[in-house]
Chains A and B, each alone.
Chain A
Amino acid sequence: MTVMEQRGAYRPSPPPAWQPRTDPAPLLPDERPYRVLGTESAAKADPELLRRLYTQLVRGRRYNAQATALTKQGRLAVYPSSTGQEACEVAAALALEERDWLFPSYRDTLAVIARGVDPVEALTLLRGDWHTGYDPYAHRVAPLSTPLATQLPHAVGLAHAARLKGDDVVALAMVGDGGTSEGDFHEALNFAAVWQAPVVFLVQNNGFAISVPLAKQTAAPSLAHKAVGYGMPGRLVDGNDAAAVHEVLADAVRRAREGGGPTLVEAVTYRIDAHTNADDATRYRGDTEVDTWRDHDPILLLERELTDRGLLDEDTVRRAREDAETMAADLRERMNRDPEPDPMHLFDQVYAEATTQLREQRALLRAELEAEQQDQEGGHR
């Protein structure tokens, strides 16, 4: 027996014939963002839903304007406006059932209030009197997440836990184009697909991560294409077409609820305002670009569709505007009251039970405040 024959005799069994583990074709997004408004599909849309979307869009735009005004009056520390992105915000909230969960990022206060959270409580973080102002369990809305994409694995874990408990609850997690570069985005999508968790990821591609355009963020064909690598479907949708965003998200939510697993949705939209009131967008983009997007405004698109089809009477328009003004007036009125955060609450709920060290520190602060008050009283005499 030759050495070669000997080797042959001990050759390990051949590797199994390689084949893709999932057929990638059905996972691929459309080549162009999916649209409903101004297309034949619009005829199939529920007029009542379209009017609800319209009312919420008008309300959302007014909320953004009012909150931005409150920053100028010093009533909010900062406000990241979602003007131009209202369709994504509103559709995300409306695509969910009451038992579902929303995981917003810091720009998603509109989605948060559309879920039913008190508009003032939604702004607590940005006013600065506490972090999360609302009870996350009241409307099943996770705290607004400032660290990018870190809320996505939370959504996956919650959806997974709900399924383990036998509840047909879906989680919808929101992130921006910049957030897709974060590791947590990747890990969340991977876990979601491996666990087939009932979760929907909505990426609002608004063109910019503060100042950095998408071209510097990714070389992917589209952000929706990223889904394929994880083995979940990617959907590309016109983010300013409220009917399209709602349809795509509602489909994804239904699919997740029925055990079909996660979906990644990229909604192509545009941030009309600067990153926040503290940002100067003229340093990185021109007016022409912004104007082009103003022509593709989410309210304009929906209004045109509804009007063309005779679904928008003056009464609906008037009521939508009145509703928005009422909300804005209430917001103004309540935000103009000075909040009085109690310094003693700083030590509450750091732990279930305060440690000895925290009790000592609380006593120290209390003594300081008492001394301060005595000084002030002494000064008045």
Chain B
Amino acid sequence: MTTVAVKPATMAQALTRALRDAMAADPAVHVMGEDVGTLGGVFRVTDGLAKEFGETRCTDTPLAEAGILGTAVGMAMYGLRPVVEMQFDAFAYPAFEQLISHVSRMRNRTRGRMPLPITVRVPYGGGIGGVEHHSDSSEAYYMATPGLHVVTPATVADAYGLLRRAIASDDPVVFLEPKRLYWSKDTWNPEHPTDVEPIGRAVVRRTGRSASLITYGPSVPVCLEAAEAAQAEGWDLEVVDLRSLVPFDDETVCASVRRTGRAVVVHESGGFGGPGGEIAARVTERCFHHLEAPVLRVAGFDIPYPPPMLERHHLPGVDRILDAVARLQWEAEG
């Protein structure tokens, strides 16, 4: 009996594979954006696609994000399935009007007659030493817009599975790719990629009994690291990876919090008006009688994203997470 040697793959490679497989499976799938063709994208996620499928399937567009998304809307109206790349989080802002005024609501305003199956890929978040405007966590803006799905993978396998799900979705999906996990590796076999659950399902990455860390995207590995370190303090932390911010999986999140009785929400996005406020409110509304302490948040500061030499102070790290866990009113138990 022979076994297939499974080599480590990066998240970027898994994303490339997902795009390739989606394009091979469905001729309606078109990749478009800045530098996605000849160059293969600044993060090389579209590497080789133009060569394999031709430049009409993987298109270098003019440098104009509203134009990219706006033309993708027209292409979707005509039955194509565009996958748009916004080069960086903060470069996606010119496309906001198209996203909010058309992409998110075309299905609803036409009573379902004109759905727009568009995937908007956005590399997001910090931790890669990017200069100004290259490290934003813009998920709260997208979450606040009804009609969009907002998805973000934290593992190599999820990157593949979720992107395939996003492209196959008949709804528009904002697919947030954690930049600093692009080069994270995992044993993953591109020849036998595993499917993931439909968009909207969170997953418990680590089971624990003491408290739940509720997180997503780039903060998932940080929370897993914090959970390991917490063992020394006698805390057995559970880590919930949301995977999808919209739709939000109240069921998995609340089941976890009911088990542990304590919760900390962790994300890079600013705390004020950030996703954590919504999550904390939902958990409190649903799990109040199971809670031993208020739901806490560990988030980025409420500042414009800092310059690279200072970003480590801004990003939620293991220590800040453990400090929050320590504030979960453990003394009340004794």
A: which residues have CB within 8 A of B?
A: 130-132, 135-137, 142-143, 147, 150, 152-162, 164-165, 171, 183-184, 187-188, 190-191, 194, 345, 348-352, 355-357
Contacts and interface: CB of A to CB of B under 8 A. Distances in A.
B22 interface: no
Given A150-B102, A349-B107, A355 B73 contact: no
Interface in B75-121: 75-80, 82, 94, 97-98, 101-102, 105-115
A316 to B, nearest CB: 37
Given A131-B110, A150-B102, A352-B107, 5 more contacts: A147-B101, A154-B102, A155-B74, A156-B70, A157-B71
Nearest to B32: A157
Contacts of B71: 153-154, 156-157, 160, 188, 191
B108 to A, nearest CB: 5
Given A190-B64, A191-B61, A350-B147, A132 B77 contact: no
B200 A355 contact: yes
23 contacts: A130-B111, A142-B77, A147-B97, A147-B101, A157-B72, A157-B77, A157-B78, A159-B74, A160-B75, A161-B74, A164-B56, A183-B66, A184-B97, A188-B67, A190-B64, A194-B62, A348-B111, A349-B107, A350-B108, A351-B107, A355-B200, A355-B247, A357-B248
Contact of A350 (B61, B62, B78, B146): B146
A276 to B, nearest CB: 20
Given A191-B67, A351-B147, A137 B114 contact: yes
Contacts of A152: 70
Contacts, number: 140
B74 A132 contact: no
Contacts of B75: 157-158, 160-161
A153 B114 contact: no
Contacts of B200: 355
Contacts of A157: 70-78, 82
Nearest to A154: B74
Nearest to B74: A157
Would you call the interface of chain A mostly helix, strand, loop, or mixed?
helix
A143 B97 contact: no
Nearest to B147: A350
B170 interface: yes
A157 B69 CA distance: 9
Given A143-B114, A190-B67, A158 B109 contact: no
Contacts of B228: none
Contacts of A158: 74-75, 77-78
Given A161-B80, A352-B171, A357-B247, A136 B74 contact: no
